[in-house]
Structure 1
């Protein structure tokens, strides 16, 4: 449930919660659902062979017969303390295989994760959700004591204007030390953005065999607005089946900015 990550903007993933459900167009080609389907099949194969599947067994509960998320969320208790055992400070993407603020996630279980993050304060935790309304509600209320810890970054996903722009507004109204946007997959031109209160923007196209196209001008428009607003900008990838082949340069520049101290831009893995 915890792995070194190939995601360019983080170092490691931590998944003590598994499961999700499709909520908007950005979910339609969900890489996590594809991976969960594969892990479920591996777990079932282990069981059929009389082997213990380990943590993979939890994926059996969250993927339905149709191979899609079934809306169930599962807490993996043995995965909760993982970050406390990682002594080297690093950036950690929290719940890459779920959504911490999913409507079916119990507040007490979210609290358990927040308590681990608060205790393991030598790491930076990157929490990303499509349920920014619930993020705002809980960090303004029941989980207020965790909201503004400087080593916990709270973010929301933005794929288009209809679903993404309201999420930005919810995030802006959320008490936090660092707020960030993951604009991936970028499915259309987002137009003018209000980046007030936003500290970091990641932009990327969709990858895989069914990748929907992203025009470079859409990414350029976001980059230009970030530069104008003094917001850290990270360009992750273009769209397509083989995104690595296209490289990560946008107009000849590799944009790897990350939020740091006020007025400071830091590169990945350096605080």
Structure 2
């Protein structure tokens, strides 16, 4: 049933293509490399474009949802691997044929191309209520699709968790389960959406995780993608507020986001449900210290949080793979210290075993 090479998803769905880099994890963005530089599908960056995928692509989740209902399965859909659903985009929105789009508010999900000399957005059209499509229109169309596919679990991963709540529309109720959730949990809760944020080092963990935790009432599963890791991450001490008087011995305020501990008090709702990690692949891939992965694994195991090791990426330690020794002899290497050396042997050869085993943890449930 799987239609993606991403180990933690069954399907990938891209409603549009294009994004803007916001942190070090974005430096070697494969989506920009392939869909901007190589294929020219969209222009990345704040002065670029966002390009809608075609209608046939938008219909695919409906087919997946039907098949899931018939087979009593629950596929995971990674949404927007080539974009960020919660990007505050104010620029041009084009269709897959590079035409700008317009709509009339009486039919908000019907986008019409603006074709010079054929179908334009002139004075008469504007007077009749037609206007340019903006990203909120596209996002609302996406959430209507999500609400229409309750047999799929949609994984929305963002580097902009601070935008989630302001861009999160009320549920378009289409089932009894959604109606029950509406009455019990509110108009914003979506049972079939998992919300995640990317954290590549401690700095970005401190910035993004508290923002994600504020979305506990929107989704049953909150998760982290620590990929690519570019530095150590301690999820047991995520900074909420720096000390106002460190010279007086007053400590920073932090939270253990795996247990929901805030000081000596435990808040079940203030915790992460799942952690994914992995190394970088492709041109320019940066080496990661194997101990960064082990630390995340050990933190998760101690807190009984599902841990998923996706891949080593391009770089791996000599004793961390079953690859042939001949590969190491002719490869680049990077030493973190005298005892910690990683070698660039390629993603496929490096594999995805950590200390000799696979880690394929997935969340089973979450406290709402």
Larger RCO, structure (CA 8 Å, separation 6 or more): 1
The 3 A distance-change label for structure 1 pair 33 and 98 is same
User: 1 CA distance for matches of 2:313 and 2:35?
Assistant: 22
Q: CA RMSD in A?
A: 2.3
The 3 A distance-change label for structure 1 pair 262 and 27 is closer
2:12–2:79 Cα contact (<8 Å) kept: yes
Q: Is the partner of 1:81 in helix, strand or coil? A: helix
User: 1 CA distance for matches of 2:139 and 2:63?
Assistant: 20
2:220–2:366 Cα contact (<8 Å) kept: no
The 3 A distance-change label for structure 1 pair 104 and 77 is same
User: 2 CA distance for matches of 1:223 and 1:146?
Assistant: 35
Q: How many residues align?
A: 237
Confirm whether residue 117 of structure 1 aligns to residue 146 of structure 2.
yes
Structure 1: state its 5+ residue gaps. Answer: 42-58, 264-271
Question: Which residue of the partner structure matches residue 67 of structure 2?
Answer: 88
User: 2 CA distance for matches of 1:203 and 1:40?
Assistant: 28
Question: Which residue of the partner structure matches residue 164 of structure 2?
Answer: 135
User: 1 CA distance for matches of 2:48 and 2:208?
Assistant: 21
Equivalent residue in structure 1 for 2:43, among 47, 58, 63: 63
Confirm whether residue 220 of structure 1 aligns to residue 294 of structure 2.
yes
Q: TM-score, normalised by structure 2?
A: 0.60
| Distance apart, 1:261 and its partner CA | 3.1
Greater Rg by CA: 2
Alignment of 1:115-264 (within 5 A): 115-139=144-168, 142-143=169-170, 147-174=188-215, 175=217, 176-193=219-236, 194-195=257-258, 196=260, 197-240=271-314, 242-261=346-365
User: 2 CA distance for matches of 1:237 and 1:156?
Assistant: 18
> 1:148-197 deviations in whole A, cap 9, x for unaligned?
32221111111112223211111111122111111000000113432232
2:311–2:352 Cα contact (<8 Å) kept: yes
User: 2 CA distance for matches of 1:146 and 1:16?
Assistant: 24
> 1:215-254 deviations in whole A, cap 9, x for unaligned?
1110111111111222111001113161221221111221
The 3 A distance-change label for structure 1 pair 27 and 204 is same
1:19–1:69 Cα contact (<8 Å) kept: no
> Where is the helix percentage greater, Structure 1 or Structure 2?
1
Alignment of 1:28-47 (within 5 A): 28-37=27-36, 40-41=39-40
